[in-house]
Structure 1
Amino acid sequence: MARKIGSRYTAHQILGRGSAGTVWLGEGPDGPVAVKLLREDLASDQELVGRFVQERTALLGLEHPNVVSVRDLVVDGNDLALVMDLVRGTDLRTRLERERRLAPEAAVAIAADVADGLAAAHAAGVVHRDVKPENVLLDMQGPLGPGGSHRALLTDFGVAKLIDTPRRTKATKIIGTPDYLAPEIVEGLPPRAAVDIYALATVLYELLAGFTPFGGGHPGAVLRRHVTETVVPLPGIPDELWQLIVQCLAKAPASRLRASEMGTRLRELLPMLAGMPPLDVDEPESDPEEEPEPAASAAPAAPVVERARRGAVPLVPGAKPDSNRDTHTSMRVPGPDELAGGARGTARVPRAAGAPRPGSARHRAVARRRRITLGVAGAVVAAAVAVGAWLATSDDGSAAPTQPATHATSATP
């Protein structure tokens, strides 16, 4: 059913639902638009509405080929909405779910587009704060770029900032999606432009590998890894690309590249990536301490089925995924003891295709079967040696009686 949004827009069809609101296909004076209608509880928050109006000038002035432009902000009764350009295509998460990982040339071309969009936003004093595949749209109607990539546009500028009001999220809260949060946000520091660079480098890693560098498992473990763990190298990519990713994932914000530098350097790397196939690495399994020990059994172990993981971990217990996977919300900042982690750490190490991760349930099951096999083989050898020794010491050289053989067999586990 169609509904009016303010006096100039009509919303016709729901395109997706997220934690912040609902995206509609709408119609305005200049043609089709996308309308993000924020939740009613947000619209009734007078402090947020005032903040919304204050951000209007900055958001409306953000124009760039790699940014989904905000055309209007509507405050009308219970309606609080962003009216945006309509992009004919899909989001990057949908493509990742279909292809799992991208060829390096296409991945780098998409990341370069997003970096260019961020450069324009940062120059205008706008920090996105929630860069993730769900917020990158691919223009399916435009010309193809390097590696067959579609032009990428970054959307949802300002939404995380609008929701992050002082009353709604205190100093002990954080806003964002766990897999892509920069360490300084986890530690409670104010977000600057460098947080977008960290998030984009995480997205690039995910496009190449099929999983995020610090994701997987409980959200608290994910946040701890951002602060305490170093990123594990990906095999098969040029060293120049890897060094760029490492620099942009630096724990210290000042060590990261600026968005304009990142975009330029990524485009310089495109010629050496032409024709490279997607990487052949398997996703790491969950942390060993988060997996139950398989029950001991004399029967052969059943094959271990690896669990598929999502691109982002929802912070709301029991939350169900929605059509646009908009998952940013607030969460308590972990204390220093929680961030310190255990002695073993929680790094999730990429491995060669088909190989189990050391310490994983599958790795332990394989090791257990190997120990049982070696134990049986050792017992058989011990029995053979015992029988040989008895024959060598026999007075008449006759066949060995059954008692020693039976005793040796009983030694088998």
Structure 2
Amino acid sequence: MDTTLTDPLVGKLLDGRYRVESRIARGGMATVYLALDVRLDRTVAVKVMHRSLAEDPAFVRRFIGEAKSVASLSHPNVVHVFDQGTDGDNVYLSMEYVPGRTLRDVLRARGRLPAREALEVMIPVLAALGAAHQSGLIHRDVKPENVLLADDGRVKVVDFGLARAIEASNQTRTGVMIGTIGYMSPEQVTAGGADARSDVYAAGIMLFELLTGRQPYEGETPMSVAYRHVHDTVPVPSALLPGSPPLLDTLVARATARDPANRPADATALLVAAVEAHRMLPRDSGPVPSVPVGPPHGHETAAPAPPAPANHTLIQPRAELLTGPAGDRHAAAPRARGRSGARWFLIGLAVVMVIAVGVTGWLFSQNTSIVVPATLVGKNVTAATGEAKQRGFTVEAGKAEHDEKAPKGTVLRTDPVAGTEAEPGSKLILIPSAGPKRVAVPNVVSMTEPQARSKLAESTLLVDDIRKLPSETVPRGQVMRTIPAVGNPVKENSKVDLVVSAGLLMPDVRGMPRDQADGVLRGAGFTPEFVEQTDSAQPCTVIAQEPQPKAEIDRGAVVRLTLSQCNSEWRWPWEREGEIPPGDNGGNVVVVPNIVFKDYRAARDELRAAGVTVKLKRTLGKGRVLAQIPSGGQTVPPGTEVTIWY
């Protein structure tokens, strides 16, 4: 029965992007699917974590963090991680799809490998681990199931960081160890901790298995195997396979030392030793020895080339690596492909040998792809250009684009986007940020309000408040200034206030004598016109005006003033009633001071000191007295009200 037919994810569009085509493999922690990335139109492998892990928040947090770290690891011998996400209950990784077989499949088919071929597999594995170690990443679960032999001869390592994410899950809170027990270092068994030397130990165990066809320790239970890792010394390959090269005995012994301090510091150090061993091996070390392989430590001889040893795991094995459909063509793969792969590797090895021993990456095939790193975005353009060139891209600068958050001179985005796989030498366009977009407030001074609105709209700005202020110099209705001021940089679609001239405000001259009203209005720039009418009011005083006080008018405007008749026989009340005896200077009268053109405050005080009361009327508001009534020098009773305009 085809199990993919009953898998609910097959045929679905995961996260709106990945159309699941078929199921590749299923393990205790994840299921791997072949899928089409409909956004980028490329085939990918999607690893979906099992629900027991996806429902654990601690695992999901660590899983996301590790995925980001691994995605930044660009190396030809690492299966690239393109994307990570969640879709409902599904937590997944989108990765490079590499048709081929796992190293475990090869061991099942062949049993063991000749010394040179074993090293030709291990060297790219160590190159991948070394690059990870120098980036601060630890694999934690190095084993043949996590090594992929691609159909084109490339060697790929997969599942970086997954073991670390699982360590954060609730499934490990009771002291359960994570990893395949046959490859776990003593410190992982006893303390649960792992570093680069733990990966070196697992690589040494894997080399032992490639050379002998079995793991060094076998037992009835996982704990019995774990006990031997802690208390026994890993045997050298020649103990099981007489005639195995001493160089490889030394390599395995160094890598699997029980004390981490006695192992190579990281995979790069072991890589250097492996390359040197490969160089020194005789050319005839390839054939598989016909001597049967015996169990370690002198146990009775077992049948040669056993099938894949049972890998005891304390948590079910993870999903198989990213493989193509595992049909008969894989099981019966001709030896010619292996030879072709060996020739391909030796070409790369010849290049590697001229590089200093601090090498961190290996170029094994002309078909090696490179991935656009996510780390370029946000970096200074110069630094990002250097990094992209180091990774093998031809870099081109794109047109800068404005962005509110990205500082000017940093990489805003890349074309192609991060995670895109490309051929070495491919063009990568870095789009720099021009920083936040700002527009200068245009000069709208002296424009009318409608003109100013139109000009601001051309600059993507809006008018907010209109503030009016009187002005003797700016014609009414013209813009006097803007807030913010002209030329200031502001965001697009910002609001700008306009300060508009109200022109001249009509002064209040009601009650003012004609001569004084005429002088005030002409001095303020108006043209007064007077109309007389019969009235009982004080003669020749303004009793009405048009425009009304405080009206906005233009300089030179005509002001019509209505006056009481100027030839009237009108007299002050006290004059009519004889309240002031002629020539009476005995303290019954006061003389009104002439306070015109004085400061109105000083004038007020002077009038009060003279014995009259004061009524203030603001007209132009400049602080100087413009007119008074009764006029200066006139004799009035004490307490008479004197009106002053200022």
Taking structure 1 as the reference length, what is the TM-score of the superposition?
0.68
The C-alpha deviation readout for 1:84-129, integer Å capped at 9, x for no partner, is 1111211000000000001111101111110000011111111111
Partner of 1:221: 224
- Residue pair 1:216, 1:309 contacting (<8 A) in 2 also: no
Whether 1:199 and 2:202 are equivalent positions in the alignment is yes
Aligned pair in 2 of structure 1 residues 221, 281: CA closer, same or farther (>3 Å)? farther
C-alpha separation in 2, matches of 1:172 and 1:265: 36
Aligned pair in 2 of structure 1 residues 315, 240: CA closer, same or farther (>3 Å)? closer
* Local SS of the residue matching 1:187: helix
Shift of 1:323: 7.9
Shift of 1:40: 1.2
Aligned pair in 2 of structure 1 residues 286, 199: CA closer, same or farther (>3 Å)? closer
Shift of 1:52: 1.8
Whether 1:256 and 2:267 are equivalent positions in the alignment is no
Whether 1:100 and 2:111 are equivalent positions in the alignment is yes
Whether 1:245 and 2:252 are equivalent positions in the alignment is yes
Partner of 1:324: 320
Relative to its length, the structure with more helix (as a share) is 1
* Local SS of the residue matching 2:168: coil
Q: Aligned AA for 1:274?
A: R
The equivalent position to 1:56 in structure 2, one of 56, 67, 91, is: 67
C-alpha separation in 2, matches of 1:137 and 1:110: 10
- Residue pair 2:25, 2:32 contacting (<8 A) in 1 also: yes
C-alpha separation in 2, matches of 1:252 and 1:305: 33
The C-alpha deviation readout for 1:186-218, integer Å capped at 9, x for no partner, is 112411111111111111110000001123432
Q: Aligned AA for 1:252?
A: D
Shift of 1:259: 0.8
Partner of 1:136: 147
Partner of 1:112: 123
Alignment of 1:393-412 (within 5 A): none
- Larger mean Cα displacement after TM superposition, 34-43 or 277-286: 277-286
The C-alpha deviation readout for 1:116-153, integer Å capped at 9, x for no partner, is 00011111111111110010000112xxxxxxxx3311
- Residue pair 2:235, 2:296 contacting (<8 A) in 1 also: no
C-alpha separation in 2, matches of 1:275 and 1:307: 21
Shift of 1:313: 2.7
* Local SS of the residue matching 1:168: helix
Partner of 2:288: 278
C-alpha separation in 2, matches of 1:286 and 1:138: 28
Relative to its length, the structure with more strand (as a share) is 2
- Residue pair 1:110, 1:151 contacting (<8 A) in 2 also: no
Q: Aligned AA for 2:21?
A: H
Whether 1:5 and 2:39 are equivalent positions in the alignment is no
Shift of 1:282: 3.5
The equivalent position to 1:314 in structure 2, one of 312, 315, 320, is: 312
* Local SS of the residue matching 2:191: coil
Alignment of 1:159-174 (within 5 A): 159-165=162-168, 167-170=170-173, 172-174=175-177
Partner of 1:377: none
- Residue pair 2:186, 2:230 contacting (<8 A) in 1 also: yes
Aligned pair in 2 of structure 1 residues 53, 325: CA closer, same or farther (>3 Å)? closer
Alignment length (residue pairs): 303
Partner of 1:268: 276
Shift of 1:283: 4.3
Whether 1:153 and 2:156 are equivalent positions in the alignment is yes
C-alpha separation in 2, matches of 1:20 and 1:83: 16
C-alpha separation in 1, matches of 2:68 and 2:147: 23
Q: Structure 1: which 5+ runs fail to align?
A: 142-149, 292-303, 327-413
* Local SS of the residue matching 1:268: helix
* Local SS of the residue matching 1:173: coil
C-alpha separation in 1, matches of 2:259 and 2:99: 38
The equivalent position to 1:17 in structure 2, one of 17, 20, 26, is: 26
Q: What is the aligned-residue RMSD (CA, Å)?
A: 2.8
* Local SS of the residue matching 1:74: strand
Q: Aligned AA for 2:28?
A: S
Aligned pair in 2 of structure 1 residues 43, 189: CA closer, same or farther (>3 Å)? closer
The C-alpha deviation readout for 1:48-80, integer Å capped at 9, x for no partner, is 112222223211101101111111111221110
C-alpha separation in 2, matches of 1:172 and 1:51: 18
* Local SS of the residue matching 1:196: helix
Aligned pair in 2 of structure 1 residues 314, 325: CA closer, same or farther (>3 Å)? farther
- Residue pair 1:48, 1:163 contacting (<8 A) in 2 also: yes
* Identical-residue share of aligned pairs (%): 34
Partner of 1:339: none
- Residue pair 2:179, 2:314 contacting (<8 A) in 1 also: no
Whether 1:72 and 2:83 are equivalent positions in the alignment is yes
Q: Aligned AA for 1:239?
A: P
C-alpha separation in 1, matches of 2:160 and 2:80: 9
The C-alpha deviation readout for 1:276-332, integer Å capped at 9, x for no partner, is 21244534459999x9xxxxxxxxxxxx98995643433469x7x998399xxxxxx
Taking structure 2 as the reference length, what is the TM-score of the superposition?
0.44
Larger relative contact order (Cα-Cα within 8 Å, sequence gap ≥ 6): 1
* Local SS of the residue matching 1:13: strand
Whether 1:181 and 2:190 are equivalent positions in the alignment is no
